[in-house]
Chains A and B, each alone.
Chain A
Amino acid sequence: MSGEHLNVKSLTMYYRTLIGEVKAVDDVSFNLSRGETVAVIGESGCGKSSLAKSIIRLLPRNVSVYKGIILFNDLNLMDLDEEDFTKKIRWTKITYVPQAALNSLNPVIKIGEQMIEPLILNQKMSKDEALERAAKTLKTVGINEDFIHHYPFELSGGMKQRIIIAMSLLTNPELMILDEPTSSLDVLTQANIMNLLKNIKRELKISMIFITHDVGLSSELADKVAVMYAGQIVEFNSAEAFYRDPKHPYSQKLMESVPTLRTDKKLDFIPGSPPSLLNPPKGCRFADRCPFAFDKCIKDPPTVNLERGFNVKCWLYGEE
């Protein structure tokens, strides 16, 4: 027993395109205890969404490499065949809120009918039973249960996002993967949704993987932080340590580029742009933008252990 709720080890997912193999997720490891939230942060194109999809096994059709270990309640999900995975894990134990999900509601089907699909297909509930569950779940996300009889166009963006979150709560999951759940919402609506997620976390004790590009926002939920750069996790740290004193030079530069309201600090940006995942540079992938780069950085940096099982992938912190 490792005691971890989710333990991802060396997860790798590549896919093949006409111009070469995209190394979207490259040897990624992190873990999560029950009821905890890990925030995965990074710039667009760093592989955050691919990581989410690799965990819930929604792979692109042209996937070429998919390996590693995903221990979920000490069961290696990689050992499950597709049928078992669909029946026992996806949309039951682990649910997923994809990016821009609020546009994914079908405009011509009533909300209740859209919500109950996984209950009828996977859990073999009767329709009435499922609708009752849907109505109850709507209440937990702060929406009047009558809305199961309404159509999506009758709702505002914030309400749609609540419905999507309700859909992912419907099966009493143990783990929710949220991919930029507030990215197209206004500030006040966003704050409302974050409050909702905090309540879900507190009361239902659901573990969460919270994917975002917004460092400030990530601190609203995160107990742990995983910083992704060019397909790899370069720093995996506790929220307390990360927001006060990030270790990896990329994390530090990223933090410097976050404007703050309450403190005075100088803003800075990272010159250059992230490498292509088609052909990432050898050695440290951040080296050519890194202010601290030195001769060792041409070799792949070691994953150096910090306190309490956290780590940073950088030559500055020691030898292999």
Chain B
Amino acid sequence: MSSPLLLIEDLKKYFEIRRGFFGRKGYIRAVDGVSLTLNRGEAISIVGESGCGKTTLGKTILRLYEPTDGKIIFDGKDITHSDWKSLKWYRRETGLVQQDPFGALPPFMTIKRILEEPLIIHGIKDKREREKRVNDALERVKLTPVEDFIGKYPHMLSGGQQQRLVIARSIILEPKFIVADEPVSMLDASVRIEILKLLQELQGKYDLSIIYITHDLSTTKYFSEKIYIMYAAQIIERAETRDLLANPMHPYTRALLNVIPDPDPSNRFIIKEVPAGEPPNLMNPPAGCRFNPRCPNFMKGICDIKEPPMVEVSRNHQVKCWLYG
């Protein structure tokens, strides 16, 4: 078996904040002890609600932030604390697709210029070579005929086309993996599927690994082999996609699955059970299990005192919950 492409061990990212000028220091624990592996050519999903730290996790993995603690090992090399300059090679191996395509594209640059920029930065001096790669990238994301698009500005494209362009930019250096952070949540239903299919196609054709960050469990099924569920800065359940959707173990995962509606006319007669409350403040998360104040299976004296361990309940299915260990 080949070694995994990316290995994340007990990753932590804290942001220091200060209340008032002389106020006490505090930390927002945006990522608090996350471990994951990403194999070559594999797509995994990280699912969580807003504020759970999933975007920070993505950015820390890409080393846009420096981790507070833990390890990031890419292709056998430890890059946890490498400095900005010596990370240039890592930038070439990775890409990022953000949520809001229009916000991610400079409005004053033409498509050609947008796609050329990373090539220039990474020292591809031959103009003809650059042109060829720009054309290739546009063809890969199906912004064709290329001549029609190359001179346009981002605002001249539809939302779906803009997101294709962002994807083209993220793959133009032929990276080994990309982080797609809510790549479709601003798009319409039909365009969403179009973009997800495109990412899937790129994954298959070019052996690209993808970390797909989303709040929407229903799209993960069509897209990724594994799901990691994140709650309050920690991974609380991980399993293969099919297994997780059929057999959710953690009470939080169950709640998430329960509330997502499939189109069905009988939905309107059912009042759903929803855990009370809100996700905790990451400055001061509850002791023990972080879901304990909202959990329907709360056990006093256990869940509110000790942090639950990650338990392997069946093959490749782990859950961080006292119900299982």
- Complex alpha-carbon distance, A254 and B190, angstroms: 7
B90 to chain A, nearest CB (A): 32
Residues of B within 8 A of A223 (CB): 268
A260 with B274: CB separation less than 8 A? no
B107 within 8 A of A: no
Given contacts A186-B50, A198-B268, A269-B190, contact A260 B218 (CB under 8 A): yes
B313 within 8 A of A: no
A273 with B160: CB separation less than 8 A? yes
A220 with B268: CB separation less than 8 A? yes
A258 with B274: CB separation less than 8 A? no
Given contacts A188-B274, A216-B218, A259-B218, contact A221 B189 (CB under 8 A): no
A303 within 8 A of B: no
- Which chain B residues numbered 259 to 280 have a C-beta less than 8 Å away from chain A? 259-265, 267-268, 271-272, 274-275, 278
- Which chain A residues numbered 204 to 244 have a C-beta less than 8 Å away from chain B? 213-223, 239-240, 242-244
A158 within 8 A of B: yes
B254 to chain A, nearest CB (A): 12
Of A199, A242, A262, A268, chain B has the most CB atoms within 10 Å of the CB of A262
Residues of B within 8 A of A37 (CB): 268
Given contacts A199-B271, A223-B268, A261-B262, contact A187 B256 (CB under 8 A): yes
B268 with A221: CB separation less than 8 A? yes
A156 within 8 A of B: yes
Residues of A within 8 A of B201 (CB): none
Given contacts A188-B274, A219-B263, A262-B262, contact A44 B188 (CB under 8 A): yes
Residues of B within 8 A of A217 (CB): 261
Given contacts A43-B190, A187-B215, A257-B190, contact A215 B259 (CB under 8 A): no
- Complex alpha-carbon distance, A158 and B216, angstroms: 18
B49 within 8 A of A: yes
Interface size class of B (residues with CB under 8 A): 35 or more
- Which chain A residues numbered 270 to 298 have a C-beta less than 8 Å away from chain B? 270-271, 273
B12 to chain A, nearest CB (A): 24
Which of A186, A254, A271 contacts B189 (CB under 8 A)?
Answer: A254
Chain A residue at smallest Cβ distance from B265: A239
**Count of chain A to chain B residue pairs whose CB atoms are closer than 8 Å in the complex:** 115
- Which chain B residues numbered 19 to 54 have a C-beta less than 8 Å away from chain A? 49-50
B262 with A263: CB separation less than 8 A? yes
Interface size, chain A (Cβ < 8 Å): 48
Chain B residue at smallest Cβ distance from A191: B259
- Complex alpha-carbon distance, A215 and B259, angstroms: 14
Chain B, 160-174, contact with A by CB distance < 8 Å: what is the 0/1 string? 100000000000000
Residues of A within 8 A of B222 (CB): 259, 267
B158 within 8 A of A: yes
A106 within 8 A of B: no
Chain A residue at smallest Cβ distance from B50: A186
B191 within 8 A of A: yes
Chain B, 186-216, contact with A by CB distance < 8 Å: what is the 0/1 string? 0011111110010000000000000000011
A134 within 8 A of B: no
- Complex alpha-carbon distance, A213 and B191, angstroms: 12
B161 to chain A, nearest CB (A): 8
B255 within 8 A of A: yes
A123 within 8 A of B: no
Which of B159, B217, B263 contacts A258 (CB under 8 A)?
Answer: B263
A219 with B260: CB separation less than 8 A? no
A142 to chain B, nearest CB (A): 10
Which of B245, B267, B271 contacts A261 (CB under 8 A)?
Answer: B245
A219 with B268: CB separation less than 8 A? yes
A191 with B158: CB separation less than 8 A? no
Given contacts A257-B190, A259-B193, A259-B222, contact A222 B268 (CB under 8 A): yes
B268 with A239: CB separation less than 8 A? yes
- Complex alpha-carbon distance, A188 and B191, angstroms: 25
B193 with A220: CB separation less than 8 A? no
Which of B50, B189, B260, B265 contacts A213 (CB under 8 A)?
Answer: B189
A253 within 8 A of B: yes
Of B192, B215, B265, chain A has the most CB atoms within 10 Å of the CB of B265
A213 with B188: CB separation less than 8 A? yes
A104 within 8 A of B: no
A255 within 8 A of B: yes
Residues of B within 8 A of A29 (CB): none
Closest 5 pairs between A and B when the two form their complex, measured CB to CB: A191-B259, A239-B265, A186-B49, A269-B193, A43-B188
Chain A contact residues, CB within 8 Å of chain B: 37, 43-44, 156, 158, 186-192, 194-195, 198-199, 213-223, 239-240, 242-244, 253-255, 257-263, 267-271, 273
Q: List 10 A-B contacts (CB under 8 A).
A: A43-B191, A187-B260, A188-B274, A216-B262, A216-B263, A242-B265, A259-B218, A268-B193, A269-B191, A269-B192
Chain B contact residues, CB within 8 Å of chain A: 49-50, 158-160, 188-194, 197, 215-219, 221-222, 245, 255-257, 259-265, 267-268, 271-272, 274-275, 278
